Each structure stands twice: as C-alpha cells, then as structure tokens.
Amino acid sequence: MLIAEFCRRAELTRDAVRLYVKLGLIRPSTGGAGSNRYQHFHESDVDRVALIKVGQQLGFTLKQIVTLNREYETGGIDRPRRLAVMQAQLAQVDEKAAQLGKLQSYLRAKVAWIEAGELGDEPSFCGLEAVTQMLGKGKQAV
C-alpha cells in the first residue's frame, strides 16, 4: 500500500510516518532501479505501528522504543532484560497513577465543596503551591 493508504490504516499523519521511517521503526520497500521510487508499506507495518502506539500508551518515549527495537533486532533483549524494562516501566506507571489519584481526590472534594455552596474551608491540594511555583505563577486560587 502507498503512504496515503498506510496513513489511513495506521491512523498516522504523513509526518509521523516519515519520522518512523527515519528512526527505522518501519521499513517500507521501494521500487527497484528504473521503476518508481514510491514507498510501499505492508500489513506488518500497520501491526508494528499498533505495537508502537501500545508502547507509547505504556509511557515509553519514542526514543526508548527506538532503543528497545534496536536491542530486539540484534537479539539483545533476553528474559532478564525484558523483565527489568517492564518492572521499571511499571514503577513509572504506578507513580503516575498515584499522582492522578491525588488529583482525582482533590477534584472530587472541590466539586463537592462547590456543589454545597462553597461553605466551610475550601479543599486544598497538598503540593499545589509547589506546582504553580514551578510554572512561574506563584500561589493561585483554583
């Protein structure tokens, strides 16, 4: 399939496809000498993009995916290495989940406080001041 069809099937922009090709994550074939130089993508490329998207949803950066892909292709990912990578990623996901849990609790308390007519003490988010200072905005009412 040509790039337009591949973009549609893989749900990627042309720029994203070009980046993936440049990074070596997908390798379309091209016509031989004397024929057109169009890139031809295959069903396996669509599958590979789906796998890349799963990796990104798990929190892996594109740079990490490229590195892991190179290791995989050279046979460098044995069981202990796979386990270490997955354990490290799980720890990062757990940390993000804990942060989201705190945000969720704060938002629920804030919604309940507003629904109750903003009576009593306003819910505070522990650490909110540090976050807003990091953004250069100082302490703000939320």
- Sorted by where each begins, the domain ranges of the chain are 1-77, 90-142
Domain at 1-77, CATH class = mainly alpha
34 alpha-carbon distance from chain centroid:
40
pLDDT for 132 equals 46
pLDDT for 142 equals 47
Mean pLDDT of residues grouped by 10 in the chain (142 residues)?
Answer: 94 96 92 71 95 93 94 88 93 91 91 93 70 45 46
